[in-house]
């Protein structure tokens, strides 16, 4: 027979030896009474659980839904994130989740997700060779479960207890002098040859390069302003502001960069005139061609004046040039890293390099490119010797 403790209301011991407690937490939106029952091996354990439920009710926290799955929680988390991060960032989050988390643990109840399951997921992804993906999966799980912990859905963040998965920093790929010669020779005659030259001479990010408008060019003072970038996601492209205040900057142009822009201006005007002529001839024959329309006033466009897609046109460009030059791994970002390496080897100070690249601070620049600064430690030792020599 069940026995209740004296003056303990709904705390009682069941016939099977377990202790239990029931509590009423008011009414839900449909007017139905909310009741919660907890169990424990000891009366003390049940008392603590009951106290926690009462405290949650007093502070207005929701009762922990026991059937909420990982997938359901991520859906809620993504809805909140939609108002906090950029569209492309949210899309990346969802892609990583749908491909790597949902198929394996999406069905698991949130309360049942422990560090063992999370470690097993990491190991499974690593066995498939997805070592870089694992770090992103770990970041998403830690963030989403931290949100669940804050909301009281789970008592702690099990992703923090799982084995650490940090992405190993890869050294930035840049071209040496011989590779630069081969690359530029292979790019000769390409429709976007001058875009590649400008990238090597300015270090612009790919989105900044292909989102660069003519209005950003200061021909008289030989400068260009970076205020926007071309963004591509899920088959769509659009112009957006640069991500950081440091990214909003003015860059001085070398003579070669200015010459490349002048050639591109001439080429674009010629392309526009030729295309308008083709459109007119096609119309006379009862055919229709897409009109020339450079609505963003971009420096580099496709044959119809529209924005370039990195996933197609730019990728094909680099594939062609790489193959012709006999190079591997050269991407739009490689040109940016190569520009940085040139500045370093020419003795430009880190602060100027950081500002030119649009980095938030010099520390980040040194973190990415510090290994390229030649002989700095040896030079420091020589300076110390010189200092003490002067003392004597």
Q: Could you give the CA distance from residue 225 to residue 228 in angstroms, rounded to a whole number? A: 9
Q: Could you give the CA distance from residue 109 to residue 111 in angstroms, rounded to a whole number? A: 5
- 266 and 201 belong to one structural domain: yes
Q: Is the pLDDT of residue 320 over 90?
A: yes
**Is residue 329 left, alpha or beta, with left meaning phi > 0 and alpha meaning psi from -120 to 50?**
left
Q: Of how many residues is the chain composed?
A: 392
pLDDT at 128: 85
β-sheet bridge partners, residue 166: none
- 245 and 350 belong to one structural domain: yes
Domain assignment present for 392:
no
- 201 and 286 belong to one structural domain: yes
Average pLDDT on 80-105 reads 90
Q: Taking the C-alpha atoms of 101, 103, 106 and 107 in order, what is their torsion angle to the nearest 10 degrees?
A: -160
The residue from 59, 81, 106 where one domain ends is 59
Please state the domain count of the chain: 3
Domain assignment present for 342:
yes
Domain assignment present for 248:
yes
Tens of pLDDT along 268-317? Answer: 999 999 999 999 999 999 999 989 999 999 999 999 999 999 989 999 99
- 183 and 325 belong to one structural domain: yes
Average pLDDT on 331-341 reads 93
Q: Could you give the CA distance from residue 255 to residue 244 in angstroms, rounded to a whole number? A: 28
- 98 and 151 belong to one structural domain: yes
Domain assignment present for 383:
no
pLDDT at 61: 52
Tens of pLDDT along 339-387? Answer: 999 998 888 899 999 999 999 888 888 888 876 765 555 666 666 667 6
- 25 and 118 belong to one structural domain: no
pLDDT at 253: 96
Phi, psi angle pair for 287, to nearest 5°: -105, 165
Domain assignment present for 208:
yes
Q: For residue 301, what is the domain's CATH number?
A: 1.10.443.10
Tens of pLDDT along 182-209? Answer: 999 999 999 999 999 999 999 999 999 9
Q: Could you give the CA distance from residue 289 to residue 305 in angstroms, rounded to a whole number? A: 13
Q: Could you give the CA distance from residue 143 to residue 138 in angstroms, rounded to a whole number? A: 9
- 78 and 51 belong to one structural domain: no
Domain assignment present for 172:
no
* C-beta separation of 272 from 297 below 8 A: no
Q: Which tokens in the block code for residue 13?
A: 């011991």
- 222 and 103 belong to one structural domain: no
Q: How many CB atoms lie within 10 A of CB 385?
A: 10
- How distant is the alpha carbon of residue 181 from its chain centre? 32
- 139 and 35 belong to one structural domain: no
Give the domain extent around 308.
Answer: 177-372
Q: Could you give the CA distance from residue 141 to residue 105 in angstroms, rounded to a whole number? A: 11
Q: What is the 3-state secondary structure (H, E, C) of the chain?
A: CCEECCCCCCEEECCCCCEEEEEEEEECCCCCEEEEEEEECCHHHHHHHHHHHHHHHHHCCCCCCCCCEHHHHHHHHHHHHCCCCCHHHHHHHHHHHHHHHHHHHCCCEHHHCCHHHHHHHHHHHHHCCCHHHHHHHHHHHHHHHHHHHHCCCCCCCHHHHCCCCCCCCCCCCCCCHHHHHHHHHHHCCCCCHHHHHHHHHHCCCHHHHHCCEHHHEECCCCEEEECEEEEEECCEEEEEECCCCCCCEEEECCHHHHHHHHHHHHHHHHHHHHHHHHHHHHHHCCCCCCCCCCCCCECCCCCCCCCCCHHHHHHHHHHHHHHHHCCCCCCHHHHHHHHHHHHHHCCCCHHHHHHHHCCCCHHHHHHHHHHHCCCHHHHHHHHHHHHHHHHC
* C-beta separation of 177 from 262 below 8 A: no
β-sheet bridge partners, residue 233: 236
Q: Is the pLDDT of residue 30 over 50?
A: no
- 148 and 196 belong to one structural domain: no
The residue from 105, 129, 161 where one domain ends is 161
* C-beta separation of 255 from 244 below 8 A: no
Average pLDDT on 211-220 reads 98
Per-residue b/e over 333-360, b at no fewer than 16 CB within 10 Å? ebbbbbbbbbbbeeeeebeebbebbbbe
Domain assignment present for 170:
no
Q: Taking the C-alpha atoms of 258, 263, 269 and 275 in order, what is their torsion angle to the nearest 10 degrees?
A: -140
pLDDT at 59: 56
Q: Could you give the CA distance from residue 119 to residue 131 in angstroms, rounded to a whole number? A: 13
* C-beta separation of 97 from 125 below 8 A: no
Please give the share of the chain, as a percent, with pLDDT higher than 70: 85
Q: Which tokens in the block code for residue 317?
A: 């460009």
- 118 and 38 belong to one structural domain: no
Domain assignment present for 324:
yes
- 264 and 332 belong to one structural domain: yes
Average pLDDT on 52-57 reads 68
The residue from 114, 133, 161 where one domain ends is 161
């Amino acid at each position: 027979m069940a026995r209740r403790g004296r003056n303990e209301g709904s705390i009682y011991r069941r016939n099977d030896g377990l202790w239990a407690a029931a509590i009423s937490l008011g009414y839900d939106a449909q007017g139905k009474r909310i009741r919660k029952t907890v169990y424990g091996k000891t009366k003390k354990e049940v008392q603590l659980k009951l106290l926690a439920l009462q405290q949650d009710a007093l502070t207005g926290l929701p009762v922990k839904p026991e059937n909420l799955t990982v997938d359901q929680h991520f859906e809620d988390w993504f809805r909140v994130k939609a108002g906090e991060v950029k569209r492309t960032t949210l899309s990346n989050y969802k892609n990583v989740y749908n491909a790597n988390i949902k198929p394996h643990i999406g069905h698991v109840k949130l309360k049942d997700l422990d560090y063992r399951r999370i470690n097993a997921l990491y190991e499974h992804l690593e066995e498939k060779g997805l070592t870089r993906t694992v770090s992103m999966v770990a970041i998403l799980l830690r963030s989403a479960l931290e949100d669940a912990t804050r909301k009281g859905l789970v008592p702690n963040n099990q992703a923090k207890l799982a084995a650490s998965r940090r992405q190993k920093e890869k050294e930035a790929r840049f071209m040496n002098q011989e590779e630069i010669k081969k690359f530029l020779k292979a790019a000769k005659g390409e429709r976007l040859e001058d875009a590649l030259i400008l990238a090597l001479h300015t270090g612009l990010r790919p989105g900044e390069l292909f989102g660069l408008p003519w209005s950003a060019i200061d021909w008289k003072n030989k400068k260009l302003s970076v205020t926007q970038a071309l963004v591509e996601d899920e088959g769509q492209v659009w112009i957006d502001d640069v991500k950081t205040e440091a990214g909003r900057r003015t860059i001085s142009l070398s003579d070669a960069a200015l010459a490349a822009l002048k050639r591109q201006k001439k080429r674009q005007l010629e392309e526009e005139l030729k295309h308008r002529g083709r459109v007119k001839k096609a119309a006379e024959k009862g055919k229709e061609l897409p009109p020339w329309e450079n609505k963003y006033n971009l420096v580099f466009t496709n044959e119809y004046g529209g924005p370039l897609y990195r996933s197609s046109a730019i990728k094909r460009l680099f594939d062609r040039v790489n193959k012709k030059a006999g190079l591997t791994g050269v991407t739009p970002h490689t040109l940016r890293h190569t520009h940085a390496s040139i500045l370093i080897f020419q003795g430009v100070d880190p602060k100027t390099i950081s500002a030119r690249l649009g980095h938030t601070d010099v520390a980040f620049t040194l973190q990415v490119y510090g290994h390229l600064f030649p002989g700095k430690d040896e030079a420091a030792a020589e300076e110390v010797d010189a200092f003490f020599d002067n003392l004597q």
